[in-house]
Each structure stands twice: as C-alpha cells, then as structure tokens.
Amino acid sequence: MRLLVIAGMSLISLISFLSGPSWCANAVLKVITDPEGATVVVDSGQTGITPCTLEVPEGKRSLQIKLRAYIAKNLQVEVSSLEPTEIKVKLIPIPTTRQESFFQYCWRRELESELPSGQMQ
C-alpha cells in the first residue's frame, strides 16, 4: 500500500481524502439467476435480490448466491471499473426424497378426491 502525503494538507483533510469514495474505483456487477429472486451477498456485506446491479469495489470479489430450496453457490469474480461484469447462474434445486412435479401433485390430489372415503392408496 502506498501513501501519498500532500504538503500542507491537515490530518483531518488527509483522512477524509483517504476514506472518500473517489479513493477506491468502483465497478458495476450485474447478477442474473435462474430462477430469479435469489439473495446475492458480496464479500459478506453488500446484498441484492436477483436480477440486480450492484456497485462494488474494483478487484476480486467473493459472491454467495442463495435461494430457499436451492443449493447455494459460492463464486470468486474479478470486477473492473473499465467495463460492467455480468454473472449468470443457474441454481439447482435441493434434492428431496420424493420428487413430484406440480402437475403430478394436482393429478394425485384429483385421484384421491375421487376415491370413496377411507380408500387411500
């Protein structure tokens, strides 16, 4: 890390200069997931809900993308202030012991409702 001290600058001015937003270049990060609605956590801090566009510090970033009933994704991505970075992620459902589509569920419920009382299959 290099430190630039400008002659005549007070300590308070130097601190505000160093902590100001212009000191660190920001990059644009666009995150798209399938399905949408996932939470994006950048470097254990900044968050968004997909699809989202975030302004993050330039450099290597850690992303965690999570959505209920889907396997969370952890990614490392290099972002630059020179051009926006777009990330597209296909989320995978968490496997369950019984995979049943909505159609199958509706069909089963329809069949069960047609059976006489007490005759469940």
> Mind listing the domains of the chain with CATH numbers?
25-94 (2.60.40.1120)
Does the pTM surpass 0.75? The reply is no
| 91 within 8 A of 34, measured Cβ to Cβ | yes
Q: Write out the two tokens for 70.
A: 């889907």
- Tokens 């956590």, located at residue: 41
pLDDT grade, residue 29 (50/70/90)?
very high
Give me the pLDDT at residue 120, please: 47
